[in-house]
Amino acid sequence: MYWEKELETIDRRALESLQLDRLNSSLRQAVKSPGYCRIPEISKIVKSGMTSIAQLGELPFTTKEDLRQGFPWGFLSMDKKNVVRLHSSSGTTGNPTVVYHNREDLQSWANLMARSLFSAGIRDTDVFQNMSGYGLFTGGLGFQYGVEKLGCLSIPSGAGNSLRQIKLMRDFGTTVAHAIPSYLGRLFEVFKDEGLDPRQDTQLHTLVIGAEPHSEEHRRRIEELFGVKAYNSFGLSEMNGPGVAFECTEQNGLHVWEDAYVVEIIDPLTLQPVAAGEIGELVMTTLDRQAMPLIRYRTRDLTRFIPGPCRCGRTHRRLDRIAGRSDDMFIIKGCNIFPMQIEGVLLKLPEVGDDYRIIIETIADQDEMLIEVEVKKQWFTGDLDFLAKLENHIARLIRDEVLVRPLIKLVEPGSIPKSEGKAVRVFDHRQR
């Protein structure tokens, strides 16, 4: 049992007063770092003390660039001898950033993780296989400590080696597994090649998927293939890693743990808060981190608050599925496009297989978007007429969604090269 009822169902007023207390101590801790002690607004507010959360809006943002410039120790707020672990981001968008933890930080992270898993219906009777890379990437140890705290039997299988994953699942009766969504299609193929069906031949009832953007359609496919419920897990190394926001059994948005973070959603251009329920960039401030508190960290992830209370009773607000990172967006023919918009269209179609990639090129002085789409085996026949019609159909559906008509190239299942780790969807080869 890992249900922090009082904290998870706390009323808004009490939550805000708790946040204010924690924010003040977080700021006092933050100014001990070389990076934050140089910022006059922060030193000033530390002297006077904050009297309302709204005052946070007067402080400057912290960006990934700031962290990179401060590399390696610039945002460390305590003596190195008290720090017990460091993690870094996966480096999807450039140089990785590094985050430090002391013992208490690791404890609170494990608590948040255990609470998150519990909210998705996972219990100490489950056998939990973590198919995430262990090491600097936070998906390994981050889940590990949470799963142990909750009391499941954990199988720290690590990433890759699908045959071994399947064997472990079957030998030990895995009931819950965690993986990045782009890996699960591949894992399913290996099940099939082995003459196995995960629905019949495993005891899986839950998958936890996260670490990379994925559409609702993608989730539904995973649920269908594996015969499970799949829950979305969101996190970023700068805010610990997994355990920042998690879907509860209602599967309608991710509760973001507001006793551990102050959450803002801003317009990335004006830097002002968006109107209630509007989509914008997620900005987060840590409330219970000692080794490296971060203030108003611009995550570059785009989402919105889902209005209204959740039926599960938890009062911490829900974030909508991440629409993408601001740096994933590409502009072509004057239209702003996110890969997830395209994924949403593709994965609704039963003929479409597991993978796709978007290639942007300059052809005869024009920017063109070429989308390679894997088609499922049974549809990838020699019937050229059928394939041409399908290409045309997909091109039209995508144009209706993003306002630019792409060139579609249907390809054999398994033919799109896989990236190591998180999926890379967009290849921009434009001459600039």
Cβ-based nearer residue to ligand ADP, 202 or 299: 299
Enumerate residues 314-353 that contact Zn ion by CB under 5 A: 314
| 1, 124 Cβ separation under 8 angstroms | yes
CB atoms within 10 A of CB 403: 13
CB of 90 to ligand ADP, least distance (A): 4
| 113, 130 Cβ separation under 8 angstroms | no
| 390, 375 Cβ separation under 8 angstroms | yes
Using CB under 5 A, which of 310, 370, 387, 395 touches Zn ion?
Answer: 310
| 295, 263 Cβ separation under 8 angstroms | no
In terms of residues, how long is the chain? 432
- Using CB under 6 A, list all residues that contact ligand ADP: 89-93, 210-213, 232-237, 299, 301, 322, 325
Can residue 306 be called a binding residue for Zn ion (CB under 5 A)? no
The amino acid occupying position 310 is C
In the chain, count H helices and then E strands. Answer: 13, 21
Cβ-based nearer residue to Zn ion, 208 or 266: 208
Determine the Cα–Cα distance for residues 319 and 70; give it in Å rounded to an integer. 30
Residue 359 binds: one of ligand ADP, Zn ion, none (C-beta under 5 to 8 A by kind): none
Enumerate residues 116-175 that contact Zn ion by CB under 5 A: none
CB of 154 to ligand ADP, least distance (A): 21
| 262, 53 Cβ separation under 8 angstroms | yes
Determine the Cα–Cα distance for residues 21 and 28; give it in Å rounded to an integer. 11
Cβ-based nearer residue to ligand ADP, 4 or 320: 320
Determine the Cα–Cα distance for residues 255 and 236; give it in Å rounded to an integer. 15
CB of 58 to ligand ADP, least distance (A): 25
Can residue 250 be called a binding residue for Zn ion (CB under 5 A)? yes
CB of 253 to Zn ion, least distance (A): 8
Cβ-based nearer residue to ligand ADP, 168 or 177: 177
Using CB under 5 A, which of 248, 254, 283, 398 touches Zn ion?
Answer: 248
CB of 301 to ligand ADP, least distance (A): 5
Determine the Cα–Cα distance for residues 426 and 113; give it in Å rounded to an integer. 31
Please report, as ranges, the residues that interact with Zn ion according to CB under 5 A.
Answer: 248, 250, 310, 312, 314
